[in-house]
Amino acid sequence: APLNEEFFQKCRAEFYDCPKNVLAQNVCTRIDPFDACLSRKTLENTQHVFTYKIENEGKPLTNQKSSGRCWLFAALNCIRIPFIKQYNLDEFEFSQAYLFYWDKIERANYFLNNVVETAKRGEAVDGRLVSFLLSDPTCDGGQWDMLVNLINKHGVMPKKCFPESYSCEASTRMNSVIKSKLREYAKDLRQLVADGATDEEITEKIRKQMNEIYNVVGICLGIPPEKFTWECYDKSKKYLTIGPIRPIDFYEKYVKPYFNVDDKVCLVTDPRSSNLYGRSYTVDCLGNVVGGRPVLYNNQPVELLLDLVTKALKFGEPVWFGCEVNKRFAGKQGIEDLNIHDFKLVFGVDIQTTMDKADRLLYGESMMTHAMVFTGVSVDPNSQKPTKFRVENSWGEDRGEKGYLIMSADWFKEFVFEVVVDRSIVSQDVLDVFDLPPIVLPAWDPMGTLAK
């Protein structure tokens, strides 16, 4: 039924009859409504002190700026910790721009191959799948398996040897150029398939299209050198030089012995009744390297993820993870806590946690949006269960404790969806799940949104 004037008059009268509504209105029309909801008591009870903390956290604190490269920053922040320790460095960054460059190239090619595959499947251009793919042909986000594809194919290099560019730090303009061309190319490729072109003819067409994409990306990001020489001083002021060397050889010889991406496994927790624990899943059309490893999710209860993250941190190993960062999050203070906001006090209604995790996924209220790194944990002295975590973010030093956030274990249970740990601490029965044929989730499933 339509809303009528009688309804509006009733709502208006009831609103102004409540002094609390008037007070909340006076406050929230002058400041950020979420700041008005901050719980003073929770702020008082939050301290950035932890039972276990990574011995040598990486420096400097990184900043992805106006880009969606959190997954790359988080991964490289993990990898640099044992690298810094091994080579006795005071501070170090791997080049995020280098992997960003190769992801743009590889992902464009992956998209074009998806266009061909879906056309051969008989998917309509205005059907849900193709429409979804065309809505965002390239983006900045990604998943752990996509990072593994990039490193195993292209290696890594120090940031000094391939620094940031404007379009690394603010990717919107570059992405708009690439997206425009990819949609144009998609039309041409679908027409070739419809006309019965051979695989060789289609491959040749993609090669010509990718040559143009290569030029666009190279203009915006620069083109990484085939070989580089890296020079630095360690903590004792000893001079160190490596190179000339290819990035893949740099990874194999100087990085992989201390952080092997193939030794890590990705576990997710998806409590929807349709997605059973102890099963493997993948997402249709999700990936970045043609012929690379697929994105695989090993679905497990959240309690197992909590235990494994705690175990890894006790061993001094950082943990990459994916979460929904902006729910129950005090940005300036860097606090992820279910009690950090009292929305009901201000608005008369609660939000964000009124449905359980499974229902939030089903109704579009939750999804993975950000990747960061666990570097510390506090445990209850009696139960030894985790109570809070220290989190290295990639938004600069302005939030939290010089860029580090604090997360309660209860927040973890609600808003963390994915962790990456060393396979050595995972039981064999959980590892065996990776050998099961994966169940394919639709391309638009919320478990794939970190790659958007």
Residue 70 bears catalytic tag: yes
- CA atoms of 186 and 131, how far apart (whole Å): 11
Indicate the pTM of the whole model.
0.97
Taking only the tens place, the pLDDT of each residue in 244-255 is: 999 999 999 999
Q: For position 342, what pLDDT does the model report? A: 98
Taking only the tens place, the pLDDT of each residue in 260-277 is: 999 999 999 999 999 999
> Would you say the C-alpha torsion 372, 447, 96, 314 has a positive or negative sign?
positive
Taking only the tens place, the pLDDT of each residue in 216-227 is: 999 999 999 999
Residue 26 bears catalytic tag: no
Model confidence at 73, pLDDT cuts 50, 70, 90, reads: very high
Model confidence at 295, pLDDT cuts 50, 70, 90, reads: very high
- Give the whole-number percent of the chain exceeding pLDDT 90: 99
Given a cut of 90, is residue 452 above it in pLDDT? no
Q: State the distance between the two ends of the chain, measured CA to CA, in whole angstroms.
A: 38
Model confidence at 316, pLDDT cuts 50, 70, 90, reads: very high
Q: What is the mean pLDDT of residues 53-58?
A: 94
Question: Among residues 77, 275, 298, 393, which one is catalytic?
Answer: 393
Q: How many C-alpha atoms does 338 have within 13 Å on its Cβ side?
A: 13
Closest CA to 287 of 296, 274, 278, 277: 296
Asked if residue 101 lies in contact with residue 165, where contact means CB atoms within 8 angstroms, the answer is: no
Topology of domain 52-441 in CATH is Cathepsin B; Chain A (3.90.70)
- CA atoms of 217 and 244, how far apart (whole Å): 25
Taking only the tens place, the pLDDT of each residue in 384-408 is: 999 999 999 999 999 999 999 999 9
User: Mean pLDDT over all residues of the chain?
Assistant: 97
Question: Among residues 154, 168, 220, 370, which one is catalytic?
Answer: 370
User: With the CA atoms of 325, 327, 330 and 336 taken in that order, what torsion angle do they form, in degrees rounded to the nearest 10?
Assistant: -70
Taking only the tens place, the pLDDT of each residue in 128-170 is: 999 999 999 999 999 999 999 999 999 999 999 999 999 999 9
Q: In degrees rounded to 5, what are phi and psi of residue 238? A: -80, 135
Question: Among residues 37, 70, 161, 285, which one is catalytic?
Answer: 70
Residue 393 bears catalytic tag: yes
Enumerate residues 6+ apart whose C-beta is below 8 A from 68: 139, 140, 141, 171, 452
Q: What is the mean pLDDT of residues 308-318?
A: 97
